[in-house]
Copies of this chain bind each other. A is one copy, B any other.
Amino acid sequence: MTPIASTVAFDVRWGECDPAGIVYHPNYLDWFSVARMRLLADYGLPYMTSFHDNGVVLVVLEATCSFKKVVRVDDHVSVRATLTDLSRTRMSVLYKVVDAAHQTCAVGHTHHAFVDLLDHAPVNVAKRCPQLWEKLSALWPKP
């Protein structure tokens, strides 16, 4: 099956680096967010209009990152986000950060739940937003 995936390029910003001269590690999770939103947008599901404006938040349940190689100011990296799981209530994404020399700098994943924007209660997307679910489920056909 063709992976559902998108890649975003980043020029490392001065302000993303710490006094050790390397990317401050929480910023990898920020890059993951950017890549995840690009993934959704690339497949016809821009986050703001498809989720947020429908009152659905893709809240993070778990985030992990393994750091393999330090990244410095002005380095060019790309982050590839790949959909790894999807249901009416959950979504998971895998991330790989690669530098200009094609070396893997970090690998991570995030697990998400769909929740209500106001009360943060779990949401069944198929019931709450059938049109959104139609598009989402098309990405991830049940075997």
Contact = CB atoms under 8 A, between A and B. Distances in A.
Given A14-B34, A25-B29, A60-B25, A20 B117 contact: yes
Interface in A47-104: 47-48, 52, 57, 59-67, 70, 72-74
A15 interface: yes
Interface residues of A, number: 41
Contacts of A28: 26
A49 to B, nearest CB: 9
A17 B18 contact: yes
Interface of A: 11, 13-15, 17-22, 24-30, 33-34, 37, 41, 46-48, 52, 57, 59-67, 70, 72-74, 117, 120
